[in-house]
Amino acid sequence: MLRPEDNEILCRVGPGTPMGELFRRFWLPAFMPHELAEPDGEPVRFRLLGEDLVAFRDTNGRLGVLDEYCPHRRAPMSFGRNEECGLRCVYHGWKFDVDGNCVDMPNERPETDFKHKVRIKTYSAAEWGGYIWVYMGPAEKKPPLPRFEWATLPPAHRWQRKWHYNANYMQGLEGELDTCHTTFLHRVDDAAPLSEGLKEAVSNWGKDGMPKLDVRDTDYGYYYGSQRDMGDGQYNWRLTQWILPSNSIIPQPRFPISSRAYIPIDDENTYVFGTSYNPEAPMTQTDVDYLESGMGAAPALIPGTFTPEINRTNDYQRDYAAKRRGHASGVPGINNQDRALVEMMGTIADRSQEHLGTSDIAVIAARRRLLQMAKDLANGKEPDLPQHAAAFGVRAIDVKTADTAMDAVVERYRDKLRFG
């Protein structure tokens, strides 16, 4: 269980909160590039870490992220005109560039103009690896953009999607870091619709529902191994990567593998940025078709939105006949199953009512690490973060081997894990 006061620290991400300040030390994905595709296009209102913001791409293609509210009379800047290298408030015409400078104050006479004294809050933004990222922390603490392996690959090697979770970020992240639930939640009555990689994975999960876990801290977060007994002296080892603050890389027996980031919109809503990628070859049309179907690593979306088609309003399309045939939940699609369970816990789960076991050690380790870092930061100690962007470029693996110790597995597959 978790004390209520620690659950509050873990889940609250607004300005001035310990966890919110920790998240503000990292670059966070915030947009798909098509959302801000055109110079002088319509500005986009959004929330990130509990703040109301507006984003735009100016005449020269530069990205701007500003406070949603004009510093004059707090009118919404998302109603503004994006023109001539700045965003102009439509209430009284004050105009701001991507750096937050007030460059025009047309409602003041020349002798009373004070635009050089006015700024609007602004945050850094950059396009990288198929997403638009935002950094909301102190300028002097800004790290380099993280060099995830998928971000360094040609676009043809990856498939990306963004979707909404109606729950706190930590609930989704904990599901990513919980290998044990796969045996139970993802049991299917018919494996034929699954990808070849998932068919193999589901078969492995079904052979042993009591995996042994081993967690190892790193500067970027941790990796942990789960050992399942396959019989005949063979073990299925899945090595999952947790990358600070809320990213995961999930192993698959075959490419593509998946990386997901759980980015807090506010305390009770999350955007998930999901990337499936093959580091060795371009994604095939079969791969893309399967991912677009919503049955695997990401959900199908209601057209024109980031809302999954399968959601709470349609009871996650539970098929009770499928449950009677042996399907665990009746919810179609691996990601949809995870999201259904996470959202139905409530937007912020009451962790003081939990009873945790040895299968939860990876979840416990992530909670402890985040809580300690957030508390240290609140007490004036800056987080000890990776000193080089390439530290984020690790990989997860799913293998069968006779090795019984994780150290032996890591040594055998070090090149595939991309450590060092």
Each residue's pLDDT tens digit, 176-214: 999 999 999 999 999 888 899 999 999 999 999 999 999
Query: Does 92 have pLDDT greater than 80?
Result: yes
DSSP-derived secondary structure letter, 154: -
pLDDT at position 142, please? 95
Tell me which residue of 292, 278, 285, 272 sits closest to 165, measured CA to CA: 272
Helices (H) and strands (E) in the chain, counts: 11, 18
pLDDT at position 386, please? 81
Query: Does 419 have pLDDT greater than 90?
Result: no
Q: What is the pLDDT of residues 30-69, one digit of tens each?
A: 999 999 999 999 999 999 999 999 999 999 999 999 999 9
Query: Does 420 have pLDDT greater than 70?
Result: no
Region 27-141: CATH code: 2.102.10.10
Q: What is the mean pLDDT of residues 133-160?
A: 96
Does residue 54 contact residue 61 with C-beta atoms inside 8 Å?
no
Rounded to 5, what percent of the chain is helix, strand, coil?
A: 30, 25, 40
pLDDT at position 418, please? 83
Domain with CATH 2.102.10.10 in the chain: 27-141
Q: Please enumerate in sequence order all residues whose Cβ is within 8 A of that of 214, keeping only pairs 6 or more positions apart, or say none.
A: 224, 225, 227, 406
How many other β-carbons are positioned within 10 Å of the β-carbon of residue 340? 22
C-alpha to C-alpha distance for 225 and 410, rounded to whole angstroms? 9
Q: Please enumerate in sequence order all residues whose Cβ is within 8 A of that of 54, keeping only pairs 6 or more positions apart, or say none.
A: 43, 44, 45, 46, 65, 66, 67, 68, 76, 77, 78, 80, 87
pLDDT at position 390, please? 84
Q: What is the mean pLDDT of residues 11-37?
A: 98
Does residue 273 contact residue 29 with C-beta atoms inside 8 Å?
yes
Query: Can you give the pTM of this predicted structure?
Result: 0.96
Give, in order, the Cα–Cα distances in Å from 22 to each of 31, 136, 222: 20, 10, 17
Q: What is the mean pLDDT of residues 227-236?
A: 96
For tokens 């050089």, the residue is 116
Please report, as a single letter, which amino acid is at residue 389: A
Domain with CATH 3.90.380.10 in the chain: 149-417
Q: Tell me whether residue 248 is exposed, middle or buried, using C-beta atoms within 10 angstroms of its C-beta: 0 to 12, 13 to 18, 19 or more.
A: buried
Q: Tell me whether residue 100 is exposed, middle or buried, using C-beta atoms within 10 angstroms of its C-beta: 0 to 12, 13 to 18, 19 or more.
A: middle
Q: Which CATH class is domain 149-417?
A: alpha beta
C-alpha to C-alpha distance for 243 and 233, rounded to whole angstroms? 32
3-state secondary structure of 218: strand
